[in-house]
Structure 1
Amino acid sequence: MAVAEVLGPGEWLGAELRDSDTWRIPLTEAHRREVLAAVHADSEESFPLPTLAPILHRVRDELTHGRGFVLIQGVPVAEMTERQCERAALGLARQVGAIVPQPPDAQPLMHVRDTGADPSRAKSYQHSGRLGFHSDPTDVVALLCVRPARSGGLSAIVSSVAVHNELVRTRPDLAELLYQPWWHDRRTGDGPDSFYTKPICAVRPDGGVSVAYGPDYLRSAQRGATVPPFTAAQEETMDLLDRLTNDTRFTLTMDLRAGDMQFLNNHVVLHSRTAYEDHPEPSRRRHLLRLWLTTA
């Protein structure tokens, strides 16, 4: 198939946004008090945000029709217990989209902490190793930082639309390969159910492109007994994607601090994380809350 470049606000370069504040939303003291009041409200179902809710609705618009990412700063996590942080994350996220339960136990949110698991076999939220640029399997992923690591753990994002268009311009033969089936690994065990095929790129109903890439999970799929080895063209495609997603022209890095809440549109943004080193005390170790959302 012949593929073409995709135009629109979802195409951006990190080098052009690095010194911009247009993608940051710092909460005012009034917003922070509003979050705390909602957290302490008697009703578990109600999370009233009279002045902050309209801002979060605009976040949803930016995610679905704009650049595809937003960073909210100043969620008052230091003034809340862990359970209250969970409630705040869910209350804020529900203003942006509907919560998608996460496997394996259909939980509304996931705690991102190092469990000492093997990075080559475990889920990305269970270890402290570096993560390749990837997308999560929902419309939006949100991360609320409760505590950063002692060092490392930087978040980096790229416009997958910009990377796609660069391949179309420079290597259209490899760009076409992105629309063909690739083997992926669910990392749910060693049986055949852990492995499945789908394209990396798909055309969206509005004519845009949705990019579902995850090199760590593509490479670990090679352990499957019935999964064929990469072809030379697939290897070349992944090498080029890895070079582009790590190119400083494309990459925008965020050092998430306590109270930062990052929202990403998985269709048009890929994200990664550097390896990190934690504090020895459990109460000071890196802790993020991950939520999956749908905007349909």
Structure 2
Amino acid sequence: MTAAVAINPGHLYAQSADSYYLKSQRYAEQVAKTKLPPRVDNVDIPHSGPQGKVVPLTIIDDPADWKAKDWEGREAEYTYFFTPEDIVELAAAVDALKARGVSTEDDIIALTKDDFALPKLGPKLVALAKEVTLGRGFQLLKGFPVDDYKSDRVGLVLAYWGVALHLGRPLVSQTDHDYEGSISGGTYGSILNHITVGRHARPAGTQAHAVDTIRLVFHSDQGATDLISLLSLTNAKEGGVSKWVSSIAIHNELLRRGRKDLVEVLSKPWYVGRKIDQARFERDEAGNLIKEATIPFEYHDGYLSVYYQSNNYQEVEKELSPLQEEALWAVAALAEDPEFHFAQILEPGTIEWIHNPSIMHSRSEVVDGEASDEKRHLLRFWVDTDANNRPIAPTFAPRSSVQAQGGFKVPEGSKLRLPLHPPSRPEA
């Protein structure tokens, strides 16, 4: 087991890494022993839908109700390949901005959609985002020109950020600190972040936090209510397989297996620790977690939005009822079923989009190599996309609008940043 990160209460990733290992281990053990009942035959289960016309506790007929096996041989339907014309247009927009003197993250973060001219590619991206947020819930885009920007990080970030700006309003997708050894050591909200081993700044002499390397369980992202975008730059030597699964299909499958009771308990409030920021929980004077309500299966205004965080629910595991425990692991067991989820290594230049309220995601263990091209590195942003007009479910709202910029909560007065490199790996 990797050594625990040193305790330093003022540092974002100062908690013990042991809890991540223990939760991941419990997750695997519980999934392995969970036995789901077979589907119920000859029972008339009511249906409703699509999204916008959902009736609680019914099977939802919607494009986001799918299993991975349903897409076998249909890759062309969910994959967009950047055309030569797209790449020329993207490069022209980047070059025009650099000619204006855009050269730093502060320059980039000040840009708006109007600064980034994508007259033909922009509408294509919005149309694809509409399919993600209102349709099947996921999309792959291949052939993003990462090789063209291997020695030009400003150009790479500009190109990817142009995509974000054309989709809508980017959110704070990571709370972080300045890199190790920084004089300021300040906290900031990142609206573009680097998914790498050792991505978070940490106390000197400590190892990368467990969350960077261990298998991540299926979950919904905490601060995103809309579209999550990942761009692959390089892959790990081993592992780092991205997985995603339809939350709507899991909801429907529980009903098809005669477990309406599990769907009912998942549609009621569950409690998790309230967070100061991405990684620190609020506690009272006695050290007890301050809690807030979430609803895993939240029906609202004709829609179902799913927020599943088994790790956070385990923080209050002593307070879960037997039915909640059963529901928690039934969802996990279905998500882990290979018939239900996609599992792919994102090749460099591939972008993955998923819709957070209807798709859960995970990642296999990551083992980096010594060479720079054997170290996993992705760029991520969250965005409230203009293509999505569905209402935000009430318990999702605090996670999307805790401050004007939305996304993760950051301390008052914190700077918003768009780092060109990971904070603890300035060379990456």
Same fold (TM over 0.5): yes
Per-residue CA distance 1:248-283 (angstroms, 9 max, x = gap): 221112220111111111111111111111122356
Secondary structure of the 1:149 match is coil
Corresponding pairs, count: 284
CA distance in structure 2 between the partners assigned to 1:117 and 1:68 by the alignment: 32
Greater RCO, CA 8 A, separation 6+: 1
Residue equivalent to 1:180? 268
Structure 2 matches for 1:30-45, cutoff 5 A? 30-42=85-97, 43=100, 44=102, 45=111
Does 1:102 find its partner at 2:162? Answer: no
Residue equivalent to 1:292? 382
Secondary structure of the 1:9 match is coil
Residue equivalent to 1:243? 333
Per-residue CA distance 1:116-149 (angstroms, 9 max, x = gap): 4443xxxx5xx12111111223211111111111
Residue equivalent to 1:23? 78
Residue equivalent to 2:147? 78
Does 1:149 find its partner at 2:236? Answer: yes
Q: TM-score, normalised by structure 1?
A: 0.88
CA distance in structure 1 between the partners assigned to 2:225 and 2:62 by the alignment: 21
Superposed displacement of residue 102, structure 1: 2.8
Superposed displacement of residue 168, structure 1: 2.1
Superposed displacement of residue 85, structure 1: 2.2
Q: Is the 8 A contact 1:132 1:273 kept in 2?
A: yes
Structure 2 residue runs without a partner (length 5+) = 1-54, 103-110, 176-187, 199-206, 284-288, 390-428
Q: Which amino acid aligns with 2:300?
A: R
Tell me which of 189, 195, 213 is aligned to 2:280: 189
Q: Is the 8 A contact 2:168 2:383 kept in 1?
A: yes
Secondary structure of the 2:190 match is coil
Structure 1 residue runs without a partner (length 5+) = none
Secondary structure of the 1:79 match is helix
Per-residue CA distance 1:74-125 (angstroms, 9 max, x = gap): 1111111233222222111222222112342222211111114443xxxx5x
Residue equivalent to 2:127? 58
Superposed displacement of residue 194, structure 1: 6.7
CA distance in structure 2 between the partners assigned to 1:89 and 1:195 by the alignment: 37
Superposed displacement of residue 36, structure 1: 2.1
Distance 1:148 1:198, change over 3 A: same
Tell me which of 57, 65, 87 is aligned to 1:11: 65
Q: Is the 8 A contact 1:6 1:208 kept in 2?
A: no
Q: Is the 8 A contact 1:188 1:194 kept in 2?
A: no
CA distance in structure 1 between the partners assigned to 2:213 and 2:264 by the alignment: 34
Q: TM-score, normalised by structure 2?
A: 0.62
